[in-house]
Amino acid sequence: MNDTPSENDMPDAARPNVLVLYADDLGRGDVGCFGADDIPTPHLDRLCASGVRLSQWYSNSPVCSPSRAALLTGRYPAHAGVETILGGTRRTPGLPRQETLATQLRRRGYRTGIFGKWHLGVAPEYSPAHFGFDESFGFRAGCVDYYSHIYYWGDHNPVHDLWDGDQEVWLNGDYLTTVIGERASRFVARDVERPFFCYVPFNAPHYPLHAPPEYLERFRHLADGRHTMAAMISAMDDAIGQILDTLDRCGLRENTLVFFSSDNGPSAESRNWLDGEEVSYTGGSTGGLRGTKGSVFEGGIRVPSILSWPRGLPAGVDHGGVGLMMDVLPTVLDAVDGAPADLAGVDGRSQLARLRRPTGTPDERAVCWAHDGQWAVRRGRYKRVHDAQEGMTPPAAVHRALFDLVEDSAETTDVAGDFPGVADELDRELAAFQAQHAAWHGAGNRTAR
């Protein structure tokens, strides 16, 4: 993989900067512009008002690492080689070597940086530097203490996990969400003459539930769990506001393409141990969708998403077309190049033309999900699920069902008996995907957990 800029890669002032803001375990019901009435998110709301609200945008997976692999490679998780949540020990392998959005943009003359959660391999040979990032700051496992930046998990020994490039750094006591926002802002402002790709994968509001006292005080009126999560989301919103303000101050906002989303839906896992008891994370909201993180029901995979580019996209628009994380790479390169790129081996599609004409022809392709024995496929208004769980753990709540997402976004009513032809067609689509999925396995590109 050659991601070294050539002498002919001259910066083009017309090319947009690219800023990707990625939350962690954030639900549709946790953001103001997606219906939350108990957690003010003024900065995300103004971002939404300046661009396109993506009401039917999906993660490619209901869990962390595969979602991030799809975002950066433009591929289904199995095709990218990451299908499950990766571990956090110092020898954990990760994303197999391949093209990423960072390598593509670096080749086009962009400076590239990541600030936050990597979660695509902890071992040194899987660090962000090997995937096109000139600069990196953050942690490589799936979660860390927000103040000590130590990774704790089950029977593993605790591991400190904070890195500036490949140098371990210690910032004990500094709240990580705030630090991520500050570092990303500094990167944006450093060289305004050269286009940038800034990837900001926050750890908020992923467990552990940690928030500064001043944010906790804002939400004391909310129920236990929700009030701490609200504080974490509010701190993230302020960090996003700092980055957006930096763009404005540097005169860059008009020609910066900003994509915001979450890696998957909210978690209902039991991870905190308070007073000797396991306490479930019940503070996140799917906004009425069924399922949570780990589920191929809508609540696990349909995520709050925004795309804003004042120079290139309409403002204040709601787009109801289906899109996925694997579409981000081709969409961004379409915007950067001024035309759809020829991308061999990429599964996603550019959505730029559809986003510019939100009332135009919808994308009627079949899109699929696979996770931990669960399968799902959507085409148009209909979604077929096989062995879908409600969250991270078995058993399956539904063996096979067909849902009309236009009439029933909460997936309460199986309509397979009313539309057997649709169910059969989607079963055939899913069988074809399962065969391709098996071929990706056979190619030997999977990463060990």
Domain that holds residue 376: 367-442
Answer yes or no: do 320 and 195 share one domain. yes
State mean pLDDT over 61-89: 97
Please report which confidence band the pLDDT of residue 364 belongs to, taking 50, 70 and 90 as the band edges. Answer: confident
pLDDT of residue 156: 74
Say whether both 299 and 347 belong to one domain: yes
First to last CA, the chain: 24
Domain for residue 201, yes or no?
A: yes
Place of tokens 């979450």: 262
CA distance 311 to 289: 34
Q: How many domains are contained in the chain?
A: 2
Report whether pLDDT(98) > 90: yes
Q: Which helix (H) or strand (E) holds 66?
A: helix 64-73
Domain presence at residue 104: yes
Is 64 annotated in the active site?
A: yes
349 in any annotated domain: yes
pLDDT in tens, 240-284: 999 999 999 999 999 999 999 999 999 988 765 544 555 666 789
| Residue in 390, 378, 371, 358 with CA at minimum distance from that of residue 430 | 378
Torsion-angle region of residue 359: left (phi > 0), alpha (psi -120 to 50) or beta?
Answer: alpha
Average pLDDT, the chain: 93
Rounded to whole angstroms, how far apart are CA atoms 328 and 448? Answer: 25
- 337 and 371 co-located in one domain: no
Together in a domain, 427 and 310? no
Interval 353-363 mean pLDDT:
78
**Catalytic pick from 43, 48, 64, 371?**
64
Reply yes or no on whether the pLDDT at 235 is more than 60: yes
CATH number at residue 163: 3.40.720.10
Average the pLDDT over 81-101 and give the result. 96
Examine residue 125 and state whether it is found in any structural domain, yes or no. Answer: yes
- Which pLDDT belongs to residue 447? 46
Q: Which of 356, 381, 412 is the last residue of a domain?
A: 356
Do 432 and 322 belong together in one domain?
no
pLDDT tens digit string along 291-344? 999 999 999 999 999 999 999 999 999 999 999 999 999 999 999 999 998 899
- Quick one: 376 and 352 in the same domain? no
Residue 370's pLDDT is 98
Mark which of 335, 356, 377 sits at the end of a domain.
356
Residue 1 resides in a domain: no
Mean pLDDT score, 349-377: 90
Tens of pLDDT along 133-191?
999 999 999 999 999 999 987 767 899 999 999 999 999 999 999 999 999 999 999 99
268 shares its domain with 162: yes
Please give the pLDDT value at position 360: 60
The pLDDT > 90 percentage for the chain reads 86
Where residue 232 falls among pLDDT bands split at 50, 70, 90? very high
Domain shared by 334 and 375, yes or no: no
Backbone angles phi, psi at 403, to 5 degrees: -120, 140
The verdict on 335 and 394 lying in the same domain is no
**For residues 227-244, average pLDDT:** 97
Last residue of a domain, one of 356, 377, 396: 356
Instruction: Identify any residues that bridge with 369 across adjacent strands, giving them in sequence order.
Output: 376
Q: Same domain, yes or no, for 193 and 272?
A: yes
Among all chains, which residue has been given the structure tokens 């944006």?
A: 188
Residue 232 included in any domain: yes
Closest CA to 78 of 369, 393, 396, 431: 369
DSSP 3-state of 194 = coil
Q: What is the pLDDT of residues 4-20, one digit of tens each?
A: 444 334 345 789 999 99
Read off the pLDDT of residues 316-328 as tens digits, 9 standing for 90 and up: 999 999 999 999 9
User: From CA 101, how far away is CA 364, in angstroms rounded?
Assistant: 25
pLDDT category, 3, cuts 50, 70, 90?
A: very low
Share of the chain above pLDDT 70, in %: 92
130 is catalytic: no
**DSSP string for residues in 401-436:** EEEETTT-TT-----TTT-HHHHHHHHHHHHHHHHH
C-alpha–C-alpha distance, residues 328 and 305, integer Å: 11
Question: Are 318 and 428 members of one domain?
Answer: no
User: Residue 446 above 80 pLDDT?
Assistant: no
For residues 285 and 408, state if they share a domain: no
Name beta bridge partners: 139: 117
Smallest CA-to-CA distance from 59 within 322, 258, 257 is with 322
362 falls within a domain: no
Bigger pLDDT: 446 vs 73: 73
Would 283 be classed as within a structural domain? yes
Q: From the candidates 43, 48, 79, 119, which is the catalytic residue?
A: 119
Which pLDDT belongs to residue 10? 38
pTM listed for this prediction: 0.95
- Identify the CATH number of the domain in which residue 380 sits: 3.30.1120.10
| Nearest-angstrom CA–CA distance, 238 and 41 | 8
